[in-house]
Structure 1
Amino acid sequence: MGMIGEFKEFISRGNVVDLAVGVVIGAAFGKIVTALVDGIVMPAIGYVTGGVSVSDWKYVLKPSQLDAAGKEVAAEVAIKYGQFLQTAIDFLLIAFVIFLVLKAYNRVRKPAEAPATPEDIVLLREIRDSLKK
């Protein structure tokens, strides 16, 4: 079997296709949750905090330097932790929603049937039980 044949076999396996579908759906799902965070959750947090966007939160180590004309001579040095908080909230919401979806999926999914016990094991158990008596 040549390389083309091996590649066809690799691609035709269900796991590869399932993984590809999962990645595409996961990316789309991430965009939905990001829109939820950016459009609903963060504005609500901004409203509670006085209209300041969370992504704009920062700790200024050194303010920017302006000259007499008002032009910026030296840029501000700041630790911008707001964007990190927004991304962390985004991640937590995505993880929580995925948890809820998987929990619902597992509830709906039929339980897997237990595989049948091999006949030799059944016979050995019967022998064991009869010896106990």
Structure 2
Amino acid sequence: MDFFLEDPASSSICESTGKKGHEDSEMIEKTDNYCMTEVREQPRSSDIDVTSRRVQELIEKINSSRANNQTVMDSLQEKLVAKVMEKCLQMKEHMYTVYEENGNEMQVKLQELSEVLDSCTKLNNELQEANRALANLRERLAITPTSESQ
């Protein structure tokens, strides 16, 4: 429904029940100094068709835009997955490189430790041998004090 505010100077129009040139019925109401006219118009078939067509075009445009958005998102997802996989492979390669470097360093340290342990074993054997030699010497030197004093 359309409402029209008319100039109070045209009060004669407010008192009439219709206007010339309008084929549809209308209701006129006088409020304060203004006249409000309510016009009931029958929508035309062609206006409905045009509006319907425009609505359909907008829906198609929205759907097309959504499909395009989905394509863009799918492409972005594929690129991100590929990039993440690439970075994971790089990290694995780096990790294995670090493992190899650490393994080489540990091998050198273990070799040094083995040499030190071998040296310790030799020294321990020499110490035990020296200990036995001293014990033998002590036994040979062991003279009873009573036998010497006589």
Query: TM-score with structure 1 length normalisation?
Result: 0.28
State which structure, 1 or 2, has the greater radius of gyration over its C-alpha atoms: 2
Of structures 1 and 2, the one scoring higher in RCO (CA 8 A, sep 6+) is 1
Q: Which has the higher helix share?
A: 2
Query: TM-score with structure 2 length normalisation?
Result: 0.26
